[in-house]
Every structure is written in C-alpha cells, then in structure tokens.
Amino acid sequence: MPTSSAARKLLALVPPTARVIRDGQEEEVPNEQIRLGDLARCTAVRRKGGSGRLGVL
C-alpha cells in the first residue's frame, strides 16, 4: 500500500472533536481548536490522530 494511501486511511479514522482539559474543566472542542498545553482525555472507545506528547492524569 503506498504511503499516501495509508495516510489517507489513517486520517479517515480521526474524529472531528477531542475532549480536552483546560483550567481544570473538561470540554469537547473541534480538533482545529486544540492548543499547545491542552490535556487530552483519551478513552478506549475514542480514536485519536495527531502527534505530540501524551501525559497520564
């Protein structure tokens, strides 16, 4: 499978929103509004795309 095809298939798995924790409050935001320093809440049923550092709460 060509790399570009594999990348397109992976991007198709990315949900349009993410759960983030800002100032102690959890909220759901569009992926375009994720900011440096946001903590992302990842659960077993949500798929996340992207790159970066994950922290454990």
Report yes or no on 50 lying in a domain: no
13-35: burial string, b at 16+ Cβ within 10 Å, e else: eeeeebbbeeeeeeeeeeeeeee
Specify if 57 maps to a domain.
Answer: no
Chain segment 9-57, per-residue pLDDT in tens: 888 887 889 899 999 999 999 989 998 889 988 776 555 555 555 554 4
In a domain, 55, yes or no: no
Q: Note down the domain range covering 33.
A: 3-40
Q: How confident is the model at residue 4 (pLDDT cuts 50, 70, 90)?
A: confident
Rounded distance, CA 49 to CA 12, Å?
Answer: 9
